């Protein structure tokens, strides 16, 4: 029965270790997820600022073109073509920035999903202990007693 008590104490120690690993894995995973979510918000804010800056820059270039055209006496279709070209370039830049943002957001979403797998892997890195079976130790004791009596006879 001494060996059962020892096995029980070992089981309790390993169970505590497993519980602590479980708690640590969850905490670490939550921290990773928070960092990714913060990065997602930062990327969204940066994209919004870039979009606004591109549109303002395009409007400024278009206004300069109109002023220059007016000063030079140019108007009509020629000016419309210049403004259309400017707007097209602005739209292309805005669309490229949007595509880059969506790609980054998609990557961060996948990283966020992967944290769940990382949490499970951390939890599973420590084997869940199983409680010792007292019946096995009792049978061991009986077997030992039978062997001893057979040897003595």
How is the chain split into domains, by residue range? 10-124
For residue 144, is pLDDT > 70? no
Strand locations in 31-129 (E) = none
pLDDT digits (tens, 9 = 90+) for 4-54: 788 889 999 999 999 999 999 999 999 999 999 999 999 999 999 999 999
Cα 17 from Cα 129, distance rounded (Å): 9
Residue 14 pLDDT = 93
Residue 5 pLDDT = 82
How distant, in Å, are the alpha carbons of 15, 17, 22, 147 from that of 25?
15, 12, 5, 48
Cα 11 from Cα 137, distance rounded (Å): 14
pTM of the predicted model as reported, rounded to 2 decimal places? 0.70
């Amino acid at each position: 029965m001494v060996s059962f008590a020892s096995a029980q104490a070992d089981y309790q120690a390993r169970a505590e270790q497993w519980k602590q690993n479980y708690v640590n894995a969850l905490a670490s995973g939550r921290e990773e997820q928070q960092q990714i979510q913060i990065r997602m918000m930062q990327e969204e804010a940066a994209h919004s600022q870039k979009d606004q800056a591109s549109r303002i820059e395009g409007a400024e270039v278009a206004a300069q073109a109109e002023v220059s055209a007016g000063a030079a006496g140019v108007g009509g279709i020629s000016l419309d073509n210049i403004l259309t070209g400017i707007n097209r370039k602005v739209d292309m830049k805005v669309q490229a920035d949007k595509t880059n943002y969506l790609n980054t957001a998609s990557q961060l979403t996948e990283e966020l999903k992967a944290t769940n797998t990382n949490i499970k892997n951390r939890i599973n890195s420590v084997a869940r202990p199983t409680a010792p079976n007292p019946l096995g130790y009792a049978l061991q004791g009986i077997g030992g007693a039978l062997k001893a009596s057979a040897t003595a006879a």
